[in-house]
Each structure stands twice: as structure tokens, then as C-alpha cells.
């Protein structure tokens, strides 16, 4: 991630404080997460402190600060999914991969997140693996999918 990549991103902005969120979004789009390096560059560009930027960014659950794993697993814990046993699915992932919510496996292959409603409650409980939503998921089914990917 050279300085140039950042400069490309920054070139679209004037450098006002108000640009912060937009810049962070662009960075996350580009790199998948907000690295310490990115915070540092943004701080220099906007003349804010790294602490202020982290403070703002960490308020939004949208931003992540660790490099994502290759396969993203998002278990829905919204009301409908929760009622339909979303928690069991989350536990199953934890057991299987040995990581808890918000973590990435040591080999960086799996990335485990929870979400609050994917907008398809009728299909609850749902798990989103990469871009695909798996409906009416059950622990056994989920384990099978994960095994296939391992």
C-alpha cells in the first residue's frame, strides 16, 4: 500500500474534517479494512490526530480494523434469526473454527462476524458466506459448508 494509493484516494477530497467518513469508506472499499497505516495517512491529510480518527471510525460498526479473512462468514443475530437459533449457528462456527465473533482465523482464511438482520427475516435463520446468503440454515448444514471450504 504505497503512499500513491492513498494520494489517489485523497485527491478527490479537499481535506476538510467533514471528508473523514467518506475517505474511510473509500479506504475500506479499497483495502477491505482500515489499517493503522491508513489512519496515519488520513491523519496527515486531514490534519486530525490518529486518535480522533480512530475514535470516529470505531463508532461505526461498518469499519473494521483488522485485515479480513478470505472467506467471510456473517451469522445473523437479528430478532427473527435469533429466535430461530442464530445463536447456535454462531456457536457452531466458533467451535468449528476456534475463533469468536469479530475474529479471523490464524491462517487468515475465515473471517467471522455477526450482523443484525440481513433483511430476509422470512428465511431465518440465515448465514451469509461471502456474497451468498444461505437460508434456513441448520448447524449440520453449516458445518458441512465449512468443511467443504476447509
> Footprint of ligand FES on this chain (CB under 6 A)?
76, 78-81, 117-121, 124, 126
Nearer to ligand FES, 75 or 97 (CB): 75
Interatomic CA distance for residues 10 and 139, integer angstroms: 45
Instruction: Answer whether 142's CB lies under 8 Å from 97's CB.
Output: no
Rounded to the nearest 5 degrees, what angle is found at the Cα of 77, between the Cα atoms of 76 and 83?
115
Which ranges constitute the DSSP H helices of 19-70?
20-31, 36-46, 50-59
DSSP label at 58? H
| Residue 98's binding partner out of ligand FES, other proteins, none, with CB under 5 to 8 Å set by partner kind | none
Which of 16, 59, 132, 147 touches other proteins by CB under 8 A?
59
Instruction: Indicate whether 99 belongs to the interface with other proteins (CB under 8 A).
Output: no
Which residue, judged by CB position, is nearest to ligand FES in the bound state? 78
Q: Find the part of the chain contacting other proteins (CB under 8 A) among 5-13, 44-52, 80-88, 110-118.
A: 44-52
* Pairing assessment for the beta strands 71-76 and 110-115 based on DSSP bridges: parallel
Instruction: Indicate whether 50 belongs to the interface with other proteins (CB under 8 A).
Output: yes
Residues forming the site for other proteins (CB under 8 A): 36, 39, 47-56, 58-59, 61, 65
Amino acid at each position: 500500500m504505497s503512499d500513491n494509493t492513498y494520494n489517489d484516494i485523497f485527491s478527490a477530497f479537499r481535506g476538510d474534517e467533514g471528508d473523514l467518513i467518506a475517505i474511510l469508506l473509500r479506504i475500506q472499499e479499497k483495502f477491505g479494512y482500515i489499517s493503522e497505516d491508513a489512519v496515519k495517512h488520513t491523519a496527515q491529510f486531514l490534519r486530525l490526530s490518529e486518535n480522533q480518527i480512530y475514535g470516529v471510525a470505531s463508532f461505526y460498526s461498518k469499519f473494521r480494523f483488522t485485515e479480513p479473512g478470505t472467506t467471510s462468514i456473517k451469522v445473523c443475530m437479528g430478532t427473527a434469526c435469533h429466535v430461530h437459533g442464530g445463536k447456535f449457528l454462531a456457536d457452531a462456527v466458533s467451535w468449528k473454527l476456534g475463533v469468536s465473533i469479530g475474529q479471523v482465523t490464524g491462517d487468515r482464511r475465515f473471517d467471522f462476524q455477526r450482523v443484525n438482520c440481513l433483511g430476509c427475516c422470512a428465511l431465518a435463520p440465515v448465514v451469509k458466506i461471502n456474497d451468498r446468503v444461505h437460508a434456513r440454515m441448520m448447524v449440520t448444514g453449516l458445518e458441512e459448508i465449512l468443511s467443504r471450504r476447509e
